[in-house]
Structure 1
Amino acid sequence: MTTSEAGASGAIPGPRLPEPVPLVSEAVLEHARRHPERTAVICGDERVSYGELAAGAAAVARAIAADEKCAASRRIGVVSHRTVGAAVHALGIWLSGRSFVFLDPAAPHRTAEHIRRTAGLSVVVDPREWPAEPAGPAPAPAAPYPPDAEAYVLFTSGSSGRPKGVSVSPRNLAHSNAARLALYDGFGTPVFLLLSPFHFDSSMAGLWGTLAAGGTLVVAGEDERRVPQAVLGLIARHRVTHTLTVPGFHTELLHTLREDERHTAEAASLRLVTSAGEALPQSVVDQHFALLPGVALSNEYGPTECTVWSTARIYEKPGPTGIGFPIPGTSLRLLDDRLRPVPAGAVGQIAVCGPGVARGYVGDERQTAAKFVDLPAGTTAGPPVRAYLTGDLGRWSDEDGLEFVGRLDNEVKIRGVRVHLETLEEALTAHPDVRAAAVAYDAENAVCHAFVVAEPGAEPAAASIRGFLETELGTAVVPDRIVFTAALPRTAHDKTDRAALLASTAPPAERERERERERERERTPEQAARPPEDGALADHIARVWEKVLGVPVASSEQDTFFSLGGNSLTVIRLSRALGELAGRPVGVKNVYRCGTIPQQVDLLSRL
């Protein structure tokens, strides 16, 4: 159906889903009954079959019922360690009639306390600790478990940065999962490599999409999932067919393939790579098919509030980027600021309708009322349609589907002309010498900064970037400053950290004074009495940090690589650079353990 055929509601529907749609827990247990010996989950040296998965989940459910504190809890927290036990515990909590909340083991104390308080968690379990009794039949749910109850709560920072708990029902997950199985049916039973942390919403796609299909879930270890060479090794070892990652890390994988053609054979089993979490640059699409021409690329879009995804576009060959068409069972509307349908071809706020729209935010009725709304059914009589207002802007094309234009809160004015940051970023990444880009607006000083990561070996000049943008978008919206950086910092939820980018533009003297004040506040008497680190190696490492981070660095005992903006992508580059300095490989795991310059001096000295 086209927008002109959609009627007064402006609804853009996806394909229908066949009914009935089974609950995910029912589908997993059915596979356990039919194929108990089939491998369900692998993580390092651990592996469980479907039979062991069901038996372990039954043991978890019995342990919950036998524990007075657990039995009184509506929700149970699960620390999201990367282990096969995470899947076992989640399924067991469902069998007990409760919902789970995956918790980030590395979350700051204040964030962790906010999440536990908001979710009302009195019980938190560690999936590395299995119940003592691992065998036995799966029990019936201990309490009524209707499809519209609650399956899990997943906390997302959204656009505000404050964690919000999204309550997802079994019905929401069942329809989201059924749409996934229907859309990707042609790619076969998945052997899925899970790179996302369990507390990210994208992990729900890999975890339940794989187990409900009867496939095998391969969980990358914490010291593997950020290292392209290790990821390619896992793909080869387990004959992985499917994976999902953010565009930034897929760029690193492609870079590794391009650096050494021998890695190409390791990716031979892949059938489908899914990109999600951020806008997919055209350059990534082109590089993907240049290096992996036989591997399909899917671009998924959708907020946590709509059970992971709402639209998708599958590429079998290079094509213009877009977020595609509504997934089966879902419909979209493009609305103006009064929540009325926009004319065909116009830009509007994306509203998602359908059974994937979640219940709302836990403990936040005001935000739930603001974002989850009832829209008119249209010209035909019928009840209002529940929709989620994404805050994203899109434009519909009957031929190419939905084009992501930007965020409502990312519209800025440059020299009197309104433009979306995402529009500038898309144009920047189209430059042949640009590998990645992000744009941040300093509202206090009315300055727009474009942060550019160059392609390896390329040295584009700022004038070249400006000229390219003038040709693409016009002179009026060219950013005020072009800043070259080695990498783009990421937030805890793996989004581009524009706040950190803006902070890096402060005058060096001001940044150094603030760092010195912070060091003095944190310095212990023993540290104050210790002489400063002296030696050429510390200075060399500081210069390496500067090159990788793109910011001035002092040889401090207090600053860590990550406190200065390091992230899961830049740590890969740091390990390479330290390896060149040491004359032998330096593992990423060692870099995580040795986060300060003095620690890295000691590490390299021992090497």
Structure 2
Amino acid sequence: MTETAQVCRAYAVAGGLDTRALRAAWREATARYAAPGRGPFGFADLGGVPDPGPWESAGRLWADPDLLSFPAACGPAARLVVARPAGGAHLVMLAVNRAFAARHSLASLVGGLGAAYAAVGAGRSGEFAGADFDWSADLSPSLGALCSREGAAPPDVLLAAYCCLVGRHTGEDRPTVGVPGPDGGHRVVRADLSGRPSFRELVVRTAAARRAGAAADRAARYDALLSVESPAEPVLGLTGARVHRLRTDDGVPDADLALTVRCSASLLAGRLEYRTAPFDAAAASGTLGQLRTLLRAALDAPGTPVDALPLETPGQLRAAAREADRTAAGAWSGRPVHDRVRAVARTRPDALAIDGGGAGVTYRELCEEAGAVARGLRALGVAEGEPVALLLPNGPRRAAALLGAFRAGAHAVCVGTALSGDRGRAVLSDLRPRCLLAASPAGDSPLVSWFRGELGGHVLDLDVPRDVLPDPESPDRAAPGAGGSAPPAPDGPGEAGPADRWAYIAYTSGSTGLPKGIPQTHRTLGQFVEWFAAEFGMGPGSRVAQWSAPGYDAGLVELFAALTAGATLCPVPDRIRAHPGKLADWLRTERITHLQTVPSFARQLLAAVRDAGPRRPSSLNHLLLAGEALPGELAGDLREALPGVRLVNLYGATETILATWHEVDGPVRGAVPIGRPIPGRQVLVLDEHGRPCPAGVTGRIVVCGPHVTPGYVGTDRPGDAFRPLAGPPESGVAGGPCHRTGDLGRRRWDGLLEFAGRGDSRVKILGTRLELTDIETALVADETVADCAVVACPGADGLVTRLVAYVVPRRSPDRGPASGARAWRAGLRRWFGRALPPVSFVTVEELPRNPGGKVDRRALADLAPSPH
């Protein structure tokens, strides 16, 4: 390099760089310097260059006299060179001559270039975004005072605060932060937040960790980056990208967060850059606000334990809790679902209520059948408040049975065909209903015979002809003639019963290995169904698919949302329910407008829709996804393939029916948020002490409000999952009934909720929730199994597609291992019926365990297995 080029800077730019915009920005930034006698300003785009080592390209390019040296004839004031090494990121090099540097501020030129780049590319989106900050007036005096009092260096205090913030966001006791090393490269600092150190102690720990930090290799991945620069150091900011100042043999560190701070006795300013996925648009200002709050508290009281340092003010936490409170918005008409269906039948008796593939049933016929069921139940002595079991497939029979049970004052227990094995017997044994409603051929099943013989229960076969007495409350009596418009009759005494009477019990997996009964009231079912139908535009003319299997509350929602709104319910035939190609054709031919399913099946359906080409389901206008996390790329593909369809992500446990919803109306990177609370619910993210978590911090999802189940059937006390929240009135927590879901989540800075995985061993496969311990309990009940562990295997998109059972066989001294995968699978099928997901078996000599004696599930994959 010639003697005239004395001031040089090099930057690694990750996340995408628009070189055309950079050229235009360079012209704009240098225009005010281009006076006569100051020389030209050069720009060169070298394109791809070799990448012989960790950014050695920077030094080699600078050493090339034809690239950055200034020809004596023209004497350029400055030159900007862009290159793309093979590593992927861009290399931006700036050189100014000695004369220009003497007259002008290099920081001003660099800052002007960043501002011009942002202006030229207004609206540009990239992989990174960021925000500048200046806390000089507020925090510099306190930082200086603490350093003087504690004998600490400002960079170590800032590093301690930053590590504390990163640890709270990652949930790690030892977060890794990349910092510039003394040799110009990066070093790894592994902060130690364990043992509840005070902030003062953390400063000492991080200072020691920084000094002892090992040099990072080129592929190092950090939780975050921190660079503390001198005040005179210019900072180049390029919108949509992350810019990192290169020194000598400096790589491009990979991290989601990068904080650059300029610090002196009177200055505390800088820039925070973040990756746009997983962070949302408000992440930069929100994270900076949290760092400022934490640092302010730490400087004021350095003896405070780091886990007690606030990230948000009490006012901010209260405001977030109140924003998440929609309990007051959960209005309900007060009419139970069966009464609302009868009201539809009075006004539109000949409208099609259920279309079962040519076997249509009108609202009049449906209500007449429901009346006959109610009279049949009363004749069997079924009293108000008693349970009635249903072993019926989706269709008119099941709908009439549900309506009839409600009309008789009973509550329904839907024993779907998937529960027809030993697990179905466990449900019936737990509940002991007086009556089981069935239809041939299910009426001749072993479960029905067992119910008659073992429990002495009555079986009402809906396919057996019986005398149908006139129903005094038949809709055609209230509204003679087709299309009658007589107003609905008011509730009669003993008709609907109290709103808080149970409507149904849904059985799902329990942590003890036994099915767990979850009751819901008419108030909760009615309120949710009214919101669901209104929000998603169900009404006369809508054709709502019933895809959910019997036995799950999702099927009840589909059924009653359609029927209470005057829509037509279209049960999906069993022969096509699990076949995406056939289902795509069915959606089109049946002119379905609303479909609710799970993301993993929606992915399969997407492929079938794409293959269908012009034969796509053009009538579909709502696709509702629930039961599993929704990947952003899947959501984007669905929106592209079905551009006229409203795509909605729903979240919630059976204990609350559902809790949150989010309409996907734009591109999403990462997982789709689960959104905001459904009316009638408050959804909070709490830490292990029951305190609301700040934005970005992962905690346990808790649902509060009047529509939480009162507890599990057969338990004397609600249990810890329903323990009321203990919080002061000013906390913003609604109080009252609550459910600790066991799910992990975080609140984004824009207020939306994100799902962050399970907090226990429950998994969902194709919408079916299973407790891994349930399967383990059933397996170890086999006398040939000595020990076992079951793990979920997610696909490339993170959705669980199958289970693997690691089994330690019980060996006979004479014959070796008895039984095997075929027998184990058969045993599980006897217990779970068709609810059993795909399971493969691996036989092992022993299960790996951690020092605490628990099975080390992460180590299972390292075993040398014999798969079956």
TM class, shorter-chain normalised?
0.5 to 0.7
Residue 530 of structure 2 is aligned to residue 227 of structure 1: no
Higher relative contact order (CA 8 A, sep 6+): 1
Q: Structure 2 matches for 1:286-435, cutoff 5 A?
A: 286-306=636-656, 308-320=657-669, 321-366=672-717, 368-375=718-725, 376=727, 378-379=729-730, 384-399=735-750, 401-409=752-760
- Cα displacement string for residues 373-432 of structure 1 (whole angstroms, at most 9, x for unaligned residues): 222472289994211111111111252610011222259xxxxxxxxx99xx9xxxxxxx
Q: Structure 2 matches for 1:142-157, cutoff 5 A?
A: 145-157=497-509
CA deviation after TM superposition for structure 1 residue 67, in Å: 2.0
Of stretches 182-191 and 309-318 in structure 1, the one that deviates more from structure 2 is 182-191
How has the CA–CA distance of structure 1 residues 95 and 72 changed in structure 2, closer, same or farther, with 3 Å as cutoff?
closer
Structure 2: give runs of 5+ residues left out of the alignment: 1-311, 441-461, 475-491, 766-771, 777-785, 839-868
Aligned position for 2:819: 517
Aligned position for 1:63: 376
User: Structure 2 CA distance, aligned partners of 1:271 and 1:171?
Assistant: 29
- Cα displacement string for residues 140-178 of structure 1 (whole angstroms, at most 9, x for unaligned residues): 575771001111111011566531101111011112112
Aligned position for 1:100: 412
Match of 1:247 among 599, 604, 609: 599
How has the CA–CA distance of structure 1 residues 410 and 67 changed in structure 2, closer, same or farther, with 3 Å as cutoff?
closer
User: Structure 1 CA distance, aligned partners of 2:795 and 2:746?
Assistant: 28
Residue 386 of structure 2 is aligned to residue 87 of structure 1: no
Q: Structure 2 matches for 1:22-101, cutoff 5 A?
A: 22-68=335-381, 70-71=382-383, 74-101=386-413
Instruction: Give the length in aligned residue pairs.
Output: 461
CA deviation after TM superposition for structure 1 residue 316, in Å: 2.9
**Matching residue's letter, 2:653:** P
TM-score, L = length of structure 2 = 0.48
User: Structure 2 CA distance, aligned partners of 1:50 and 1:290?
Assistant: 37
Q: Structure 2 matches for 1:491-570, cutoff 5 A?
A: 500-503=803-806, 517-518=819-820
- The alignment partner of 1:251 has SS state of helix
User: Structure 1 CA distance, aligned partners of 2:575 and 2:360?
Assistant: 18
User: Structure 2 CA distance, aligned partners of 1:164 and 1:244?
Assistant: 24
- The alignment partner of 2:329 has SS state of coil
- The alignment partner of 2:662 has SS state of strand
Aligned 8 A contact 1:73 1:123 in 2: no
CA deviation after TM superposition for structure 1 residue 184, in Å: 1.8
Aligned 8 A contact 2:538 2:565 in 1: no
- The alignment partner of 2:557 has SS state of helix
- The alignment partner of 1:361 has SS state of coil
User: Structure 1 CA distance, aligned partners of 2:407 and 2:753?
Assistant: 39
Aligned 8 A contact 1:241 1:271 in 2: yes
User: Structure 1 CA distance, aligned partners of 2:521 and 2:361?
Assistant: 27
Aligned 8 A contact 1:17 1:329 in 2: yes
How has the CA–CA distance of structure 1 residues 566 and 6 changed in structure 2, closer, same or farther, with 3 Å as cutoff?
same
User: Structure 2 CA distance, aligned partners of 1:409 and 1:382?
Assistant: 25
Aligned 8 A contact 1:332 1:351 in 2: yes
How has the CA–CA distance of structure 1 residues 146 and 189 changed in structure 2, closer, same or farther, with 3 Å as cutoff?
farther
How has the CA–CA distance of structure 1 residues 27 and 514 changed in structure 2, closer, same or farther, with 3 Å as cutoff?
farther
- The alignment partner of 2:750 has SS state of coil
Match of 1:10 among 298, 321, 331: 321
CA deviation after TM superposition for structure 1 residue 91, in Å: 0.5
Of stretches 135-144 and 26-35 in structure 1, the one that deviates more from structure 2 is 135-144
CA deviation after TM superposition for structure 1 residue 77, in Å: 0.5
How has the CA–CA distance of structure 1 residues 383 and 393 changed in structure 2, closer, same or farther, with 3 Å as cutoff?
closer
Aligned 8 A contact 2:418 2:834 in 1: no
Aligned 8 A contact 1:371 1:388 in 2: yes
How has the CA–CA distance of structure 1 residues 559 and 397 changed in structure 2, closer, same or farther, with 3 Å as cutoff?
closer
How has the CA–CA distance of structure 1 residues 135 and 227 changed in structure 2, closer, same or farther, with 3 Å as cutoff?
farther
Aligned 8 A contact 2:502 2:520 in 1: yes
Aligned 8 A contact 2:706 2:736 in 1: no
Residue 469 of structure 2 is aligned to residue 117 of structure 1: no
Aligned 8 A contact 2:547 2:572 in 1: yes
Rg larger in 1 or in 2?
Answer: 2
Aligned 8 A contact 1:148 1:169 in 2: yes
Aligned position for 2:626: 276
Structure 1: give runs of 5+ residues left out of the alignment: 412-420, 426-439, 456-468, 470-484, 490-499, 523-557, 572-607
User: Structure 2 CA distance, aligned partners of 1:22 and 1:6?
Assistant: 37
Aligned 8 A contact 1:86 1:127 in 2: no
User: Structure 2 CA distance, aligned partners of 1:336 and 1:146?
Assistant: 37
CA deviation after TM superposition for structure 1 residue 22, in Å: 3.0
**Matching residue's letter, 1:325:** R
User: Structure 1 CA distance, aligned partners of 2:370 and 2:652?
Assistant: 30
- The alignment partner of 1:62 has SS state of helix
Seq. identity, %? 28
- Cα displacement string for residues 415-467 of structure 1 (whole angstroms, at most 9, x for unaligned residues): xxxxxx99xx9xxxxxxxxxxxxxx99x9999998946569xxxxxxxxxxxx
**Matching residue's letter, 1:396:** R
- The alignment partner of 1:48 has SS state of strand
Residue 499 of structure 2 is aligned to residue 164 of structure 1: no
User: Structure 2 CA distance, aligned partners of 1:181 and 1:401?
Assistant: 23
- The alignment partner of 2:707 has SS state of coil
Aligned 8 A contact 2:332 2:527 in 1: no
- Cα displacement string for residues 111-140 of structure 1 (whole angstroms, at most 9, x for unaligned residues): 112111222213111156255417524385
Aligned position for 2:71: none
How has the CA–CA distance of structure 1 residues 284 and 67 changed in structure 2, closer, same or farther, with 3 Å as cutoff?
same
Aligned 8 A contact 1:83 1:127 in 2: no
CA deviation after TM superposition for structure 1 residue 189, in Å: 5.7
Moved over 4 A (4+): 2-6, 139-144, 158-161, 186-189, 380-384, 443-455, 513-516, 518-522, 558-563, 565-571
User: Structure 2 CA distance, aligned partners of 1:449 and 1:229?
Assistant: 30
**Matching residue's letter, 1:75:** P
Aligned 8 A contact 1:329 1:354 in 2: yes
- Cα displacement string for residues 295-317 of structure 1 (whole angstroms, at most 9, x for unaligned residues): 121110011100x2110011134
